[in-house]
Amino acid sequence: VHVKDYTIRTVNGKRIGFVGALTDALGSVATPQITEDADLSERAVDALNRVAGELKRSGKVDAVVALLHADASAATGLGRDVDLAYTGHTHAVKQGVADGGAPIYEAGSFGQNMAVQDLIITGHGRHAKVQVADANLGNGTEATAVPGVLNVEGLDAHPRQAAWMSAGVVSNGSVARSRQLYTKANDYAASAGNAVIGTLAPGTNFDKRTSVGHEGSVGMLVADANRESIMRNVYAGTRLPVVGFSNNGSLRTKQLDMDEDGKVTIREVDSLMALQFHAAHETLTGLGLKAVLAQQFHRNDDGELEHRWLGISSNVRYRYVQCGDGGATCTLGDSDGNGNQHTGVKATVGIVDLTIDGRPIADDDLVIIASNSYLLQGGDNYSALLFCFH
């Protein structure tokens, strides 16, 4: 599949080139199978500058808008051939200015906010001059703390002036039909989604808070569910231990019981698991499992130890020690089955006292890992899961 570098839209007689790029971290947020044929060598901001320059020099466009799926800070290197930049990925509400002078906007997530700007263009092609002005829709939208970004929640109170009607399509029948489809789908979702499928004990709520001793209880819950799924449907034996994992990025809400009423609904579960991953499994040695656990830790630029907790099933216990302490190794890997240790995974910490279901795990023991296919393919930079399969 070939993905176009840009598309050109004519708006009120002016040709606007929209140039898109993905995050430079694509290799760590997408599975290796998805990106194996992609050339990720060029930085996103360099690619945007290259294509924007080609469009401007050719005279094909009067203005260029960059669409970058990355945090707003990643767009600061955009040059003078870009007139406006919209960013995303980190769910933040931000505004900034690129090196070339283009304003940069990031408008949150889930359709709750919207950046709305006017391009004021004089001239054509290579001789065009572009100014950017924040737009006031005048339709009941509220300004956020970030100039140029509006809060568009609650617009049903202004149905005739909804934000998506601001582009001159008020009389277009497709807008009304889209609205009808949305209303019908939303009504059905509300009815089906409110079905209660479980309850929580008083004071209990599974959330994503992560700290030492509290590694995200909802992550552990999903990891336990992955483990249970594999034990029910794939491996019901007892000879090999089964461990469940979940990754923080696959859990799309902050907690399971969003309204904290003690009832768990289909909507809440579906919102949490919006990426619709299915449980998959692979087999690691004990040493490979240690390598995965060790990849939760890294050192920041100041040399301080930082954590990015996995959701780990409740039947796993371990300790970590910084490299050099307690005789722990800093190079971890997996065995090829012939007693030869592959030591390709560098670790900041060592994993010691690893037990599963209360049983100590030796480096050459086999362990079944239950998780989603994204994580099992080395997603979120857990390369040990990709390289250490038995």
pLDDT recorded at residue 389: 64
Sign of CA dihedral 103, 104, 108, 112: positive
pLDDT recorded at residue 351: 92
pLDDT recorded at residue 202: 86
Q: Above 60 in pLDDT, residue 93?
A: yes
Short-list 145, 153, 148, CA closest to 85: 148
Structure confidence by residue, pLDDT tens digits, 123-152: 999 999 999 999 877 666 778 899 999 887
- Burial (CB count <10 Å: 0-12, 13-18, 19+), residue 136: exposed
What is the 3-state composition of the chain as percent helix, strand, coil, each rounded to the nearest 5? 30, 30, 40
How do beta strands 341-346 and 331-335 pair?
antiparallel
CB-based contact 54:80 (threshold 8 Å)? no
- Burial (CB count <10 Å: 0-12, 13-18, 19+), residue 364: middle
pLDDT recorded at residue 308: 83
Residue scoring higher pLDDT (141 or 242): 242
pLDDT recorded at residue 65: 98
pLDDT recorded at residue 353: 95
- In angstroms, the CA 244 to CA 253 distance is 20
Q: Above 80 in pLDDT, residue 160?
A: no
Q: Above 70 in pLDDT, residue 335?
A: no
CB-based contact 92:104 (threshold 8 Å)? no
- In angstroms, the CA 306 to CA 26 distance is 22
- In angstroms, the CA 282 to CA 370 distance is 7
pLDDT recorded at residue 28: 66
Residue 226 to residues 167, 236, 242, 333: CA-CA distances in angstroms? 46, 14, 10, 24
Structure confidence by residue, pLDDT tens digits, 101-126: 999 999 998 778 889 999 999 999 99
pTM: 0.69
- In angstroms, the CA 340 to CA 342 distance is 7
Q: Above 80 in pLDDT, residue 263?
A: yes
pLDDT recorded at residue 1: 52
List, in order of start, the domains of the chain with CATH numbers. 6-161 (3.60.21.10), 210-387 (3.90.780.10)
The mean of the pLDDT values for the chain is: 84
Provide the β-strand partners of residue 151.
Answer: 113, 142
Among 180-194, 315-329, 364-378, the minimum mean pLDDT is found in: 315-329
Query: What value, to the nearest 5°, has the Cα angle with vertex 135 and ends 142 and 153?
Result: 30
Q: Residue 359 CA to chain centroid, in angstroms?
A: 35
Looking up tokens 């030869």, which residue turns up?
A: 340
Region 154-161 average pLDDT = 51
Question: What pLDDT band is residue 312 in, cutting at 50, 70 and 90?
Answer: very high
Short-list 208, 173, 364, 202, CA closest to 285: 364
CB-based contact 43:90 (threshold 8 Å)? no
Element (H, E) at 150: strand 149-151
Q: Above 50 in pLDDT, residue 338?
A: no
Short-list 354, 376, 365, CA closest to 230: 376
Among 31-40, 192-201, 232-241, 243-252, the minimum mean pLDDT is found in: 31-40
- In angstroms, the CA 47 to CA 54 distance is 11
Short-list 330, 320, 332, 323, CA closest to 288: 332
Question: What pLDDT band is residue 303 in, cutting at 50, 70 and 90?
Answer: confident
Question: What pLDDT band is residue 287 in, cutting at 50, 70 and 90?
Answer: very high
pLDDT recorded at residue 325: 53
pLDDT recorded at residue 155: 53
Q: Above 70 in pLDDT, residue 175?
A: no
With a pLDDT cut of 90, the percent of the chain lying above it is 52
Task: Give me 227's structure tokens.
Answer: 């483990």
All residues at 6 or more sequence positions from 239 whose CB lies less than 8 Å from its CB, including other chains: none
Residue scoring higher pLDDT (340 or 205): 205
Question: What pLDDT band is residue 168 in, cutting at 50, 70 and 90?
Answer: very low
